[in-house]
Structure 1
């Protein structure tokens, strides 16, 4: 064993995790969070690039609205597949290799999309790209939470959602600037190049999870942990902590999620993700159109939709800042409740343009914060050995809600529903999710971190 520098003592195996939870955030830790935020910015662009270019693609290939709708959904289908079947590998082979591989997949899909020759080819490539994005989103959110201390864990994970919203907004502005001059393919090409350039950046700057190294013990685990400890200004470990039981394979991870100890928590989180992402994607997808149906002009409808997305940039960051002072679950319940109250007021305010635009921006802030809150809550609810599997499966269930919501809303409108009816229904969905979270508590087999980021003693079932 290497000799320790004079004046420094080796950390006990259990103290490094405690030091990360309770100590101040080092520059290295914030750097790890910043890399994850950057990855989410690129994902925001890559996910919504089809929305940015849909009109131009439809015009070139003469697509019907239903065909364009399939293209718009293809990326979400891929993300669901990636979150469900690729993200769990991060619990087995490591967060970092899965993220690097998924970045390469997303970059390849974007670059090939720029050269696609038919709508069928583009749709298949959107699914392929989405698989990569689904893996990146799950892995990067887990790493953000694992490198943040207890106080700033909610903010660290929430900033990923802020990055996603920033990437989507910048992507929309870039698409407007490029599509007219260079065509829709240039937007995909730009996104593909940017994502490809991120692969070497993540290779050199994105660290592996300390919790993963401790739990799974890959080759040279102790040496790798001590390198990370030094970079965070912590003393090295003399030896690894006692091993803990971990699921042997991917299917075992899913079985663990639905074990008697975790089943209640898992099902509640899955239902919460389904409902919140269904409501969120309804709001973001249909607001411009429904504002026009409610009496605004086409330009005013687009303005309302844009303000909603801009508000979303600040919603996740605000939730994270509040989570540094209050229990994350309680902050999320408040966000859900406020969103439920604002939605009926928004659709009733269309006769007063200023009020409608203001409420639209505020709804964007709170609705995006609801999604960010679930992203932050879920990884900390599970132990290290199934953390990526838990978040990935929840994201996959959420994507199903995201895919269904716009289609169901369209069918309801065809059957005579009014915009007011739809917004009242979505308001009830957000309110119902707030009630669901009141039932959420750590499972009997306690995870390493509580939803607030605090250590939870085994058997503690007190809600966060």
Structure 2
């Protein structure tokens, strides 16, 4: 038997047995509950984020805020998202997926409601920071939960579907602002957005810790119970009792901090360095261009493309709807053709269409090129997401995913600044810069990324092609991409 400390693998046969058991399960109602719960959580996150952007003019008018002061309030959410990506990845790997699963939605729900009662810009900025913490933590925590519960043949599709809800949430926020702003005001919109999230918090409480995480912590009996739960109360496998590893003992805050730092450092160890650099680069390049376009789109349309303000909102509604379609398309194909192919195709398509979009002046051309661009842009965003959590073992999965997402968030902060510096000199150059980001992500994914579609998590854990047990991947795992074909998400659901 091979043991790894710090919450690593405890028993090769137990890990193998559990992984094979989980990946052999047909899609059932418990899988559907997890996907739906994660997806609806992302939807409310996106609603809150988009509502803040839509009510910003009303807030600025009520409090007589200068553009700079309003910008600081808006940036508080983005800063919180950056910190949340880093923080909750580490927290989830240290204290469990379920803890992060509950904490992130609780932060978003509580502080979204707090926003409705803020009496000053400072109070609102603080509340928005904590909302951002929760939103930022969703990516590493939820992607780890889905990766560790769902069968390999459906893992990428399930993660893509959850992020489809993010675009859907932005679309619903636009509808809510359109029909509710006059009657509810900006404070009422925050309350309406926060209220349904309470139900999501309750449903998340019903979902247990992931069996892979429990077994990595030596909690064999609890792992059996969680495995039985996800199998819809079927008989769980008989796992070798591994005992509690050293890191399950009470630890001081100093030891916890040291362990957290050690996990981050391990991302750049010889085993995982290449994977980490590749994941960070793909996230950074893609999100730079994604948010560079998204945050500047209304201004580019009105100020530089001559679109009347009355037509901007309908344009953005269609733009977001095409983004939802792109994410749905990705979810249907990502487990069949792989992550690399989807990121590459989407990146190339978004790059070409960004340039074509920038060359348009009439509304008809802008709609045609812009909507096609939105389809490819969001298709790629959903394809990027599963890459990071599949690159690391259970003990590092959320940390790796969180810090990759953090690299993307950091790039997203600088993207609107870069666009603002370039746009006054050359509008055309803006679209070429955004195209370059998508091309960079596509090239890195195609050349350097490891394909993970259809492979068991236990066969993806070490960067040299072996797994976390130091064993070479099983021959059947190498053939999994071509042999495993995703079933419809409705198959065998009870």
If the length of structure 2 is used for normalisation, what is the TM-score?
Answer: 0.84
**Partner in structure 2 of residue 421 of structure 1:** 429
Matched, 1:280 2:290: yes
- Offset from partner CA, 1:73-109 (integer Å, 9 cap, x none): 2111101111111231111111111121222222221
Root-mean-square deviation (CA, aligned residues, Å) is 2.5
Q: 1:125 aligns with which of 124, 127, 132?
A: 127
Kept in 2, the 8 Å contact 1:87–1:134? The answer is: no
What SS does the aligned partner of 1:325 have?
Answer: helix
**Partner in structure 2 of residue 54 of structure 1:** 56
Matched, 1:364 2:349: no
Matched, 1:393 2:398: no
Gapped regions of structure 2 (runs ≥ 5): 1-12, 248-255, 467-472, 482-494
Separation in 2 of the partners of 1:256 and 1:323? Answer: 29
Residues 176 and 323 of structure 1, relative CA distance in 2, 3 Å threshold: same
Matches within 5 A, 1:98-117: 98-117=100-119
Matches within 5 A, 1:306-455: 306-351=317-362, 353-414=363-424, 416-418=425-427, 420-442=428-450, 451-455=452-456
Separation in 2 of the partners of 1:122 and 1:112? Answer: 8
Q: 2:70 aligns with which of 68, 71, 88?
A: 68
Separation in 2 of the partners of 1:133 and 1:219? Answer: 32
**Partner in structure 2 of residue 446 of structure 1:** none
What SS does the aligned partner of 1:135 have?
Answer: helix
Shift of 1:373: 1.4
| Greater than 6 Å deviation, 4+ residue runs | 241-248, 461-464
**Partner in structure 2 of residue 177 of structure 1:** 179
What SS does the aligned partner of 1:451 have?
Answer: coil
Separation in 1 of the partners of 2:422 and 2:277? Answer: 27
Kept in 1, the 8 Å contact 2:224–2:237? The answer is: no
Kept in 2, the 8 Å contact 1:56–1:184? The answer is: yes
Gapped regions of structure 1 (runs ≥ 5): 1-10, 443-449
Shift of 1:391: 0.9
Kept in 1, the 8 Å contact 2:91–2:100? The answer is: yes
Aligned length: 443
- Offset from partner CA, 1:254-291 (integer Å, 9 cap, x none): 01111111112111211221121111111111122212
- Offset from partner CA, 1:369-417 (integer Å, 9 cap, x none): 2221121111111111111001111111111111211122112224x22
Separation in 1 of the partners of 2:21 and 2:294? Answer: 41
**Partner in structure 2 of residue 6 of structure 1:** none
Residues 38 and 68 of structure 1, relative CA distance in 2, 3 Å threshold: same
Separation in 1 of the partners of 2:80 and 2:220? Answer: 32
**Partner in structure 2 of residue 154 of structure 1:** 156
Separation in 1 of the partners of 2:41 and 2:241? Answer: 31
Kept in 2, the 8 Å contact 1:144–1:157? The answer is: yes
Matches within 5 A, 1:253-272: 253-272=263-282
Residues 74 and 219 of structure 1, relative CA distance in 2, 3 Å threshold: farther
Residues 429 and 58 of structure 1, relative CA distance in 2, 3 Å threshold: same
Matched, 1:90 2:92: yes
Kept in 1, the 8 Å contact 2:334–2:383? The answer is: no
- Offset from partner CA, 1:355-376 (integer Å, 9 cap, x none): 3213222211211122211211
Shift of 1:223: 4.8
Kept in 2, the 8 Å contact 1:26–1:232? The answer is: no
What SS does the aligned partner of 2:84 have?
Answer: helix
If the length of structure 1 is used for normalisation, what is the TM-score?
Answer: 0.89
Kept in 1, the 8 Å contact 2:84–2:135? The answer is: yes
Kept in 1, the 8 Å contact 2:220–2:243? The answer is: no
